[in-house]
Amino acid sequence: MNSESEPSEKKKKNLNPSLSLFSLPNDILLNCIARISPSYYPKLSLVSKTFASLISSSKLKDTRFLQKTCEKILLVCFHFPTKSPSPSWFSLWLKPNQALTNDLGKKEESTGNALLVPIPSSYCRRPPTFMCKVGSECYAINRYCNPSFDLSVTKPGTGIWRKVPKMMTVAREDPIACVLDGKIYVMGGCSQEESKNWGEVYDTKTQTWESLPDPGFYLRVSTLRKMEVMGKKIYVISSKKNTYHIYDTIEGRWEVVAPTFECSVVVDNVRYCYTGTKFIWYDKKHNGSRRVDGLSVLERHCRAGSGHIEMANYGGKLLIIWDEFVYNARDRHEKTNIWCALIAFEKRNGDEEVWANVEWASSVLTVPLSCVLLRHVIKAV
């Protein structure tokens, strides 16, 4: 005899098989998905074409904006030379409702609460190479650009993108860009022979493009990683570690200097830099740079890598991405572990010292030794 808690066979037969989540109107589905953490989106998009379509639509972002559930996620770009000539994008997946740990210095495997997962085409059409906010508008450069639709602009919350009135001079594939004084500087992603138009700048006020001076053959043939803005100068960081190419926006000319730092970022009006051996900081109040205290273990980990480090302002904290060489003596296997760490800062001794606290750090991805860490994008979803 069946238990009373179990449904009878007759009741099972009367269940309507058409009643499912997919029978709901798309507007209701969007409201449900908008309440789910974006960490689940890459995997959720693989469940069905319906989910994939809704997750990749602009309506989802509009719904999250109205519900005030928008979150910032990290997108990381890698180049796998042996697999594909085009870069591959990954997103940082943080396991919801789990306490992240600091795995620096630990011998055991990572907890797995933080991972970099590949972005399927069904989840995201093509992550933008670059996004920025100028005034009240957001600008984005598509990953694969052509002169007919390369730079697009929107007002946050509208979900409506439009192309800028005038187009780039040349087609670009995966360029790098930065913004300075309301102007968007775009470089690379085109043929090395494009000496006259290898770099361009878009003035958001006059809505016009202007070509930049030729930076020289060696930069045009290099693999570009990122651009850093310091004062009125733009630092172009490429695969060549021994030099930095700097564009002076006031003088309108290029110069080549020896690098003094691997990367830098501004958090709460303080610029933090990694020099290749240590983390330093400086602001307008103090003369010269000073060392960040409390990061000796992290610095040791970063020195073990190839020096490809990315830094980002992640909600008022410093997010660091770096690679670490790993050699397995047993099977003579070489690989690279990609690490992420989130760091909070505290000023002490009358703002004369900056102390860092590593809130969490974890190995988030293992890649072949030939893989190159290119750049990152912080995107609101």
Q: Which two tokens stand for residue 236?
A: 């172009």
C-alpha triplet 309, 315, 319: angle, nearest 5° = 15
* Domain extent listing, the chain: 9-67, 72-380
Q: How are beta strands 72-79 and 88-94 bridged, if at all?
A: antiparallel
Decide: pTM greater than 0.75. no
pLDDT of residue 136: 85
* Nearest residue to 273 (alpha-carbon basis) of 239, 251, 240, 244: 244
Q: Is 60 left (phi over 0), alpha (psi -120 to 50) or beta?
A: alpha
Is residue 77 a contact partner of residue 374, using CB atoms and an 8 Å limit?
yes
Query: What Cα–Cα distance (Å) separates residue 250 from each residue in 71, 181, 234, 246, 259?
Result: 37, 11, 11, 12, 21
* Nearest residue to 353 (alpha-carbon basis) of 290, 283, 297: 290
Any idea what DSSP says for residue 240? -
**Cα–Cα distance measured from residue 272 to residue 230, given in angstroms and rounded to the nearest whole number:** 12
Element housing 130 (H / E): strand 130-134
Q: Which two tokens stand for residue 157?
A: 């919350």
Is residue 120 a contact partner of residue 45, using CB atoms and an 8 Å limit?
yes
Is residue 285 a contact partner of residue 268, using CB atoms and an 8 Å limit?
no
pLDDT of residue 15: 47
**Cα–Cα distance measured from residue 197 to residue 169, given in angstroms and rounded to the nearest whole number:** 7
pLDDT of residue 13: 47
Name every residue whose Cβ is closer than 8 Å to that of residue 272 and which is 6 or more positions away in sequence: 264, 265, 266, 279, 280, 281, 292, 311, 318
Q: Which two tokens stand for residue 235?
A: 């630092």
- Cite the DSSP H helix spans in 70-226: 217-220
**Cα–Cα distance measured from residue 91 to residue 61, given in angstroms and rounded to the nearest whole number:** 17
Neighbouring-strand partners of residue 263: 274
pLDDT of residue 128: 63
pLDDT of residue 305: 67
CATH number of this structure's domain 72-380, picked from the four choices 2.30.30, 2.120.10, 2.60.120, 1.20.1180:
2.120.10
Is residue 238 a contact partner of residue 226, using CB atoms and an 8 Å limit?
no
Q: What is the pLDDT along the chain (381 residues), one digit of tens a residue?
A: 444 444 555 444 454 544 566 678 888 888 888 888 877 787 787 888 888 888 877 788 778 878 888 777 888 888 787 777 677 888 888 776 777 888 887 765 666 678 888 876 555 555 566 778 888 888 888 655 454 457 888 877 676 778 888 888 888 877 888 999 999 999 988 888 888 889 999 999 999 999 999 999 889 888 887 888 888 999 998 877 667 899 999 999 999 987 777 788 889 889 898 888 899 998 888 878 899 999 999 998 888 766 678 888 888 999 999 888 877 666 666 788 899 999 999 989 888 899 999 999 988 998 888 887 877 777 666
pLDDT of residue 163: 83
* Nearest residue to 90 (alpha-carbon basis) of 104, 73, 103: 73
Three-state DSSP class for residue 371: coil
pLDDT of residue 182: 93
Q: What are phi and psi of 313, to 5 degrees?
A: -80, 110
Neighbouring-strand partners of residue 74: 378
**Cα–Cα distance measured from residue 177 to residue 318, given in angstroms and rounded to the nearest whole number:** 21
Query: What Cα–Cα distance (Å) separates residue 68 from each residue in 61, 65, 124, 315?
Result: 10, 5, 21, 16
**Cα–Cα distance measured from residue 261 to residue 244, given in angstroms and rounded to the nearest whole number:** 10
**Cα–Cα distance measured from residue 309 to residue 305, given in angstroms and rounded to the nearest whole number:** 9
pLDDT of residue 279: 93
pLDDT of residue 148: 47
Q: What are phi and psi of 65, to 5 degrees?
A: -65, -45
